[in-house]
Structure formats: structure tokens, C-alpha cells
Amino acid sequence: MSNVTYNEDNIRSLDWREHIRMRPGMYIGKLGDGSSQDDGIYILIKEIIDNSIDEYVMGHGNKIEINIEDGTVSVRDYGRGIPLGKVVDCVSKINTGGKYDSKAFKKSVGLNGVGTKAVNALSGFFKVQSIRENKIKVAEFTRGEIVEDAKITKCDEPNGTMFEFTPDTEIFKNYRFRNEYIENQLWNYAYLNSGLRIKFNGKTFYSKNGLLDLLQRKTEPDSIRYPIIHLKGEDIEIALTHGQQYGEEHYSFVNGQHTTQGGTHLAAFREGIVKAVREYYNKNFDTKDILTAIVGAVSVRVEEPVFESQTKTKLGSLNMGPELPTVRSFVVDFVKVNLDNYLHKNPETADALLKRIQQSERERKEISGIKKLANKRAKAANLHNKKLRDCRIHYNENKKGSDELKLNTTIFITEGDSASGSITKARNVQTEAVFSLRGKPLNCYGLSKKIVYQNEELNLLQHALNIEDGIDGLRYNRVVIATDADVDGMHIRLLLLTFFLQFFPELVKQGHLYILETPLFRVRDKKQTFYCYSEKEKQEAISKLRGKAEVTRFKGLGEISPNEFEDFIGDNIHLEPVFLLEHTKIEDILGYYMGKNTPERQEFIIENLKIELDQVDNEQESKEEQKEPEEILEMS
């Protein structure tokens, strides 16, 4: 090793703003570009809204107004407003806030005095306005530095606080807000705060029945086996039913915070259900048979919750409050007692639940032999290692902190050896894995799950993802379909989507599935290179390179060199999340696209083909009109 100087000059003390900007991941998790629901720009919104929610929980203000325009977010609540003399301190002095005083905020989600400071430091523009008793205080900041500290003046606005901020493009490069993620987040706030009215860009979010409304929105009446069970107690609310899907689907919350990674309360919720069912039917059912196909939600409120990170996605182990039971015992006891009472009072629901458990038992036993044989064959042929190039994080997955590390993991599902070879050489081996398909996957629409184990490709894929028993064990936060941008690639993409929607819809519902977009063209001269994702971008690049331009059309992923690929799956990755829109029926989607070739689908294809051809004709005419006397070399 070379000699490195280490003395007093190497010691630095960072102020709050510098530390947040240098280590944003400690405060808001991964940065991202807005393509994932847990990307940093959504955490910024959440940190501001959480304060408004806390005001409502404390009985102040029953509406919140949110607007996003041109990348700038504004949040207005009608609570008490920040005490005017402390407005600047509350948004720019770390570990400052009213939530250290438990009398003011007994069961708040934001307890660390960090949230608004992080938003301030990571915003190119940040403005706070507090209104109390016909007086207003305004302050503006740029990247955490105060640029305006206005005097307190009179006003006739109702009490409350308003924040405006624009994420700093030095930190969040090429970001864009996706309304689907924000709306889902706002629905969760509405469900957990019955009676609160939230308005977002003119759309209203309101819930009267809490978690009952949540499950009604997440399920279809004809897909559930019995009416949703909805139970409430002091500091706890649960809802559950069983559907037709494979695996489990859960939504868990603490003090209004969506704990996407679950934690103590979710584990206790599942444990309580198993105990209640076994005691009611007086039979020792297998845990998997009880929980398979369940759709459940649990919300608890605790004093000073202990989360495993600042982003508050997983609840640790703790008591409900001083001299109170643990969260685990509190939740288990509530679920066991109240679910047992409900089943005794509703025998029709109890009968339907029993039939669903017995169905799961039969299916598990039927699949068991096929599963063992398929895994034995794969292991003997060493197929798992041949198909999967894993990431290094999973070699240390038993170590402390692995859950937080897994938030950054990605697996690319590729077609063929050439594509997987390019991505494998270009990937970040610490966090990115590659799974290589051979040929086109089976169209599994309408088939039972046992076909997955009988089909080598699909069996190995679910094994690589570790989702055989549901997505609780999912090994990667992002599952990315990476296929060629041609007809065969689109077909493989559709077959994979069918596989996930048919057998693992919760993977999609919970925002884990993505499509990788790679450039269609490379436009370059001797000095500059542009990678273009559309015909429009290609024409714009050509116009910038006045003179000779070389245009390469990438027909497949295997044609893109590893050196180039490194940029497309790194910081500049283009991912399109796979959404299920509100009230979308999976059965209808799969039946339309993957079922028999109906007249409706034929008409859809013909109509859209006409639109595409018209667009091509218009673009060609435009090119002819704007053509300049320069040589363009097309290379395919």
C-alpha cells in the first residue's frame, strides 16, 4: 500500500446540510429516477405529508391539498401551523421539532426531527409558510441555504402550513413523478385516517371505512371466497379475506406509515390468524394452507415506534408503550380472540374459509411430488447455477442489515446467451443479478401451478426469485424483463407478464416488476455519441451532428457491447414499471391478450396498426421536407 497521510487536516466536521447532501441514502433511501415507488422523490413527498397527517391525528385540520406542476410539489394542510418563531429552525436545524414532546405528538410517525430538513437540503427550491391566528411567516431556501427570511406579517388565511419544493437536479438526475405511485400512497393515507380528505391535482381521496375500503379496492367481489372480515380495536385495525391467487398479499402500517417490508406487527398478524384458525376448527392445519391466497391488512399505533431505517419501511421489536405489552403479543392476542369470535358469529364465512384451507391443502400435496422431482433434476444438471448469475449481496444475506441492502437489488431476465452475456459483463456484481431464458417461455394462461414445476424454464425462474411459497422471500427488489425490441422480444415479454400475473400477481401489485428500455439507435460522429430511445430522438441527434453521422440500429440486446451496456443499466437506466390500474381485472387482461384470438382483439390490432402506419407516413413526409444536404450513414 502507498503511504497515505492521516493527520488533523483529514478530519472534517460536516454541517447538517452537507451531511444530508453527501449521504442522502441515510435519510431517504435510494435516489432512483421515479420509476420505483420507493425512490427518493416520493420519500420527499412522504416526509412533508407525514407532518400534515400527524396534525390530523392530533385533531387539527381535516383536509390536505397537494399539487405537482412542472416538477414542483406543494403541500397545504389546515392544522395548527408551526409556531411562527420556530419556522426556520424546524426546517433547517437538525434534531429540532415538536415531536420530542410526547404530549404534543403521542403516536406520531415522524419522531427523529429529520424529515423536513432532508427535503430542504435535497431541494433546489424549498419554501415554507406557516399561518397561525391571522399571522404568517415565510422562509425560502436553496439546497438548504436560506435565501429569504421574511418578517412575520398579518394575513387572513386559515391556520396551517404550506410547503413547496423542487427536488435538486444535481441529486435527482432525470427524475419524473409518476402519479400512479403518488395516488397509491395517498389512498393509504386516506384508508388509515378515516374522515380525512386529501386532494391531489384536483382528485379527492377519502375513506369512510378504513382498511375495509383498502381491501375492497385491492380485490374484486367475484375473486374472494368470503366477505371481508373487518375488525377494529384501540390502536389496532385489521381486515382479511381469501382469494383465488397463489401466495399471500399483505398491507401493513404503523402510525399511518406503510411498512412495505413488514416487521414485527405483520409477523404477529399472520401468527394470530394461524392460531385462531387452528383453535376454531380444532385441527393443526399447516401454516401454508391457512395463509395461502390470503389478502390481509393490519394497522397499529404505538408510542415511539422503532423502525429499522429512517425510511421507516420495517418495524422492529418493541413495546406498545411504557409498561405495556410487546407489539407481537398485543397483535397476536387481538387477532386470535376477535377472529375466533367473528367465526363463531358468522358460520357461513367459517365454512367458506375451511373450504379454502382444504383446497390449499389438496393443491400443496398434489404439487409436492412434482416439485421435489423438478428440483432434483435441476440440481443434478446444475441448471440453477447455469441460468442464474447472482449478485454478491446474497452471499451475505444472513448478515445484519441485509434487508436494507436488498432494497437496491435487481435481477434482469434476459433472452438468450448473447444478451445475458452483455448484461453480465456490464452489471454491478454487488447488487445486480442476471437470469438467462432459453427460447420462449410457456404460455401459462389458464394452467394450474403444477405446470410451473413441470416446465423447466418457469420452475428455475421462480426458484431463482425464491417465490415458490409467495413473495415474502423475494430475493430482489426489482425484477426486470430485459428482452429485444422486436416482435420476438415483445412476445417473450408478454409471456413473462402472463406468468407473473397468473401465479404471482402480488409481485406486480407491490411494484416489483419492470420493463428495461434500451436504446434503439446510436447516432455518432468522431466527437459525440447519442443513444436514442425513439425515432424522434434519433432525428434530433442527427440534426445536432451537422455533417456526417453514423446511425446504428440495435436489433437486439446482444448487439450492444458491455461497455455501452454499463451506462444503460447503471445510473442512467430506463425502467418502465408494470402497473395494475385501479379496478383492473387480471383475468380479463389475460383472457383478452392470451386467450383465444377473439374478434375484439383482431379489431384492436388492426386499428392500432393503422395508427402506427399513419404516424410513420407523417414522419417520413416531415423528414423529406426538412432534409438537409448532409450524408447520413445508416448501419444496421
44 and 93 assigned to the same domain = yes
Interatomic CA distance for residues 188 and 251, integer angstroms: 10
Number of domains comprising the chain: 4
pLDDT of residue 489: 86
198 and 237 assigned to the same domain = no
- Which domain-ending residue is among 179, 205, 231? 205
pLDDT of residue 208: 93
41 and 138 assigned to the same domain = yes
Residue 566 lies in a domain: yes
* Cα angle 571, 509, 246; round to 5: 125
pLDDT of residue 534: 87
Q: Among 71, 136, 86, which Cα is nearest to 116's?
A: 86
Residue 4 lies in a domain: no
Residue 365 lies in a domain: no
3-state secondary structure labels for all residues of 393-426? HHHHCCCCCHHHHHCCCEEEEEEHHHHHHHHHHH
252-265 confidence digits (pLDDT tens) = 998 888 887 778 88
Residues in the chain, overall count: 636
507 and 529 assigned to the same domain = no
Q: What is the DSSP letter of 392?
A: G
Q: Among 249, 270, 267, which Cα is nearest to 470's?
A: 249
CATH number of the domain at 436, please: 3.40.50.670
* Cα angle 458, 409, 576; round to 5: 75
465 and 525 assigned to the same domain = no
Q: Which three cell numbers stand for residue 88?
A: 426556520
Q: Among 463, 450, 440, which Cα is nearest to 502's?
A: 450
Q: Among 134, 91, 145, which Cα is nearest to 113's?
A: 91
568 and 630 assigned to the same domain = no
141 and 165 assigned to the same domain = yes
- Which domain-ending residue is among 205, 236, 260? 205
565 and 547 assigned to the same domain = no
pLDDT of residue 399: 45
Interatomic CA distance for residues 566 and 560, integer angstroms: 10
246 and 321 assigned to the same domain = yes
Residue 302 lies in a domain: yes
514 and 527 assigned to the same domain = no
DSSP, collapsed to helix, strand or coil, labels residue 488 as helix
Owner of C-alpha cell 401454516: 287
Interatomic CA distance for residues 5 and 319, integer angstroms: 48
The domain in which residue 409 lies consists of 381-518+559-594
What residues are paired with 523 via a beta bridge?
530, 551
Q: HSE (CB half, 13 Å, CA atoms) of 406?
A: 23
Residue 52 lies in a domain: yes
Burial of residue 609, with CB atoms counted within 10 A of its CB: 0-12 exposed, 13-18 middle, 19 or more buried: exposed
pLDDT of residue 626: 43
In this structure, the strands spanning 123-132 and 63-69 are unpaired
pLDDT of residue 313: 58
Rounded mean pLDDT of the chain? 83
95 and 53 assigned to the same domain = yes
pLDDT of residue 308: 57
CATH number of the domain at 298, please: 3.30.230.10
- Which domain-ending residue is among 140, 175, 205? 205
Residue 5 lies in a domain: no
Residues of the chain scoring pLDDT < 70: 1-4, 6, 8-13, 95-113, 304-324, 378, 380-385, 395-406, 547, 582-583, 597-598, 601-602, 605-636
Residue 317 lies in a domain: yes
414 and 464 assigned to the same domain = yes
Asked if 445 contacts 498 with a C-beta cutoff of 8 angstroms, the reply is yes
Owner of C-alpha cell 422431482: 373
Q: Which three cell numbers stand for residue 221?
A: 367481489
Q: Among 540, 525, 529, which Cα is nearest to 564's?
A: 529
188-221 confidence digits (pLDDT tens) = 999 999 899 999 998 999 999 999 999 998 888 8
Amino acid at 161: T
Residue 499 lies in a domain: yes
